[in-house]
Amino acid sequence: MELTKEAAQQELAALRTQLNGWRTAYYTKDAPVATDAEYDKQYQRLLAIEQQFPELVTPDSPTQQVGDTVLPEFTKVPHEQPMLSMGDVFSLEELAGFDERLRKTVDEDFDYNVELKIDGLSLSLVYVDGQLQQASTRGNGRIGEDVTKNVRTIKDVPQQLTRPLTLEVRGECYMPKAAFAKLNAQREADGLETFANPRNAAAGSLRQLDPHVTKQRELATFIYTLMDPAQFNVSTQDEAIRFMADLGFATNPSSERLGELSEIDAYIERYTGQREQLSYGIDGIVLKVNSLPLQAQLGATVKVPRWEIAYKFPPDEQETVVRNIEWTIGRTGVVTPTAVMDTVQLAGTQVSRATLHNPDYIAAKDIRIGDTVLLHKAGDIIPEISRVLLDKRPADSVPYPIVTKCPSCGAELVHIEDEVALRCINPQCPAQIQEQLTHFASRPAMNIDGLGPKIIAQLQEKGLVHDVADLYSLTAEDLAQLDKFKEKSIANLLQAIDNSRHNSVERLLTGLGIRHVGAKAATVLAENFGSLGALAKADEESIAAVDGVGPIIAKALVQYFAMPNTQELLQQFTTAGVNMDYTTATPAAPSDSFFAGKTIVITGKFADYSRPELSARLQALGAKVTGSVSKKTDLLVAGADAGSKLSKATTLGVTVMSADELAAKLNEN
């Protein structure tokens, strides 16, 4: 670089200000304002200038920092050994350069442990006599945040090890892709800011002041570092992973011991191709010198170990043009904008639409009709506009005008306090009612077979239903007005509606679509209060005291039942003969069942069952069904397209049962 020292000082100051701002947004606020690729590009520029002018390096430079500040709401936890960051390379040539430098430094031959780079946040777990004592975040590398209460809600973190050992392990806390998509969909429906990617969703969920919220977020972990391994006679990284798996920790089965660069290149190519199919996000692979004594010999800089490196996947971004912005209404009235674009191939799929979340998002990125934009998949899942290419913006471009009226009913849209979304609050809005009716009739709710969105739209068009209670006053004459509805179709739908009157009340509670109240919460509430009437009369304190509920759900319920419209709706249900009591009883499991007392994990697809149905049937036969494979797992039931759980079960020696073997055993019972 042809830079004078004065020019270098000026550019370094600007880069540090920009990068430190981005770091604060990413680490402290869990709300990134720049893509990983943008950050990496500017960071590499900063690093290059500092290498040319080492005398200009300052303590506040991002190259000298790990993580970010510890939030004041959490108890501080000092790390006996610093939790460092990791060096990055961005090409196979740079990776080969790292290997070459290392081999010149070390006199002995060595190999690597190669593993996937999980898109999460670092976590430390301390056990005393086999019991979980403390969990903490990385924080600034020297001091982290105590998140023990929250980590105790994560299913795959063992509360007790298989051996009464005192130790510390470290790894990654992450949010699976399915949980991330579900969380963002719920937040968008509630009018809240969505998370930018699974990593920030995981960080925001782990750093909660309410453990009930963390529990609902379905976090998971992969543990990969054993501290002070010599005391356990562990001398290599691959031995450490097996040792930790034996203790009950969740470890990633993808790690391999490799020596040649050609093998490492093949590993990268394989997982680049499989990246979309993984149930969790990855942003690269990690090379670690496999020998732990050699790791100790190589040591670390102030920020990164010298014995490991991260190869970062190149960003998959495609250029496309925004042709339109459409607005849709959810069942809670939230109005969501979606960009309609020229179709492009992105990370293996055809993409032509991307959510724009809310008006603030459109304004912040200044997205306009006709703009050429870069598109990527946030967390390998959700199509997202990275940025507008301003040099390709049409000369006659004007800022996009945000809608002020509901596109369905024409009512004025409003901003509710603490929400970023626009919301239609007209209770008679047709789009909202259609979404509410569809949710009410869905399988997790009232399970009215045959009542889908198209039929509901017809019922609305003909003025036959105006809310969910109207379903119970439909007659054969009403249904005869619908297209292609003959005698058998009419009889079937009326029977399905009548059957739903007798559901246990947790289905009705789910179907009401109360904010934050899903099927799991509805079941817990029904079990505890016994009836909808009792729940409707309960105060916030008594509802929040129910295990697994908490203050957020409690407040939403009290607000919902206080509305006059709700009281009228409940009276309509009573008049229609809809059951308001908890009638679901768990039958005693047969003691002679093959599955009784077994801890079972289900993976893959099954022709005869959905996963929830299969789980319920196995539980009825006395099994304990869990979500992750460990040494405590007695049986893995593997359907078609079984993935990493099958690999882990094989590694741990867990018995695997095929779909055919399962069918035979179920028939026996």
Q: Would you say 295 and 301 are in contact if contact means Cβ atoms under 8 Å apart?
A: no
Contacts of 107 (CB under 8 A, 6+ apart): none
What is d(CA 165, CA 229) in angstroms, rounded to the nearest whole number? 12
Q: What is the DSSP code string of 20-72?
A: HHHHIIIIISS--SS-HHHHHHHHHHHHHHHHH-GGG--TTSGGG--S-PPPT
Helical ranges in 247-298 per DSSP H: 261-274, 292-298
Backbone angles phi, psi at 382, to 5 degrees: -100, 120
Backbone angles phi, psi at 330, to 5 degrees: -90, 175
Of 117, 377, 645, 648, the catalytic one is: 117
| H or E element that contains 366 | none
What is d(CA 101, CA 117) in angstroms, rounded to the nearest whole number? 22
Q: Hey, is 222 helix, strand or coil?
A: strand
Which of 171, 126, 175, 167 lies closest to 146 in space, CA to CA?
Answer: 126
What is d(CA 669, CA 663) in angstroms, rounded to the nearest whole number? 10
What is d(CA 468, CA 390) in angstroms, rounded to the nearest whole number? 48
Q: Hey, is 75 helix, strand or coil?
A: coil
10-28 residues labelled b (16+ CB within 10 A) or e (exposed): ebbeebbebbeebbebbbe
Structure tokens at 81: 């050994």
How far is CA 317 from each of CA 273, 346, 378, 392, rounded to the nearest angstrom?
Answer: 16, 7, 11, 16
Angle formed by the axes of helices 92-105 and 261-274, nearest 10°: 140
Which of 564, 582, 402 lies closest to 510 in space, CA to CA?
Answer: 582
117 has catalytic annotation: yes
Q: Would you say 358 and 421 are in contact if contact means Cβ atoms under 8 Å apart?
A: yes
Number of H helices, E strands in the chain: 24, 22
Q: Hey, is 166 helix, strand or coil?
A: coil
Backbone angles phi, psi at 653, to 5 degrees: 75, 25
The CB-side HSE value for 470 (13 A sphere, CA atoms) comes to: 15
Contacts of 49 (CB under 8 A, 6+ apart): 1, 3, 8, 11, 12, 15, 56
Say how many C-beta atoms besides its own lie within 10 A of residue 172's C-beta.
23
Q: Which residues are catalytic?
A: 117
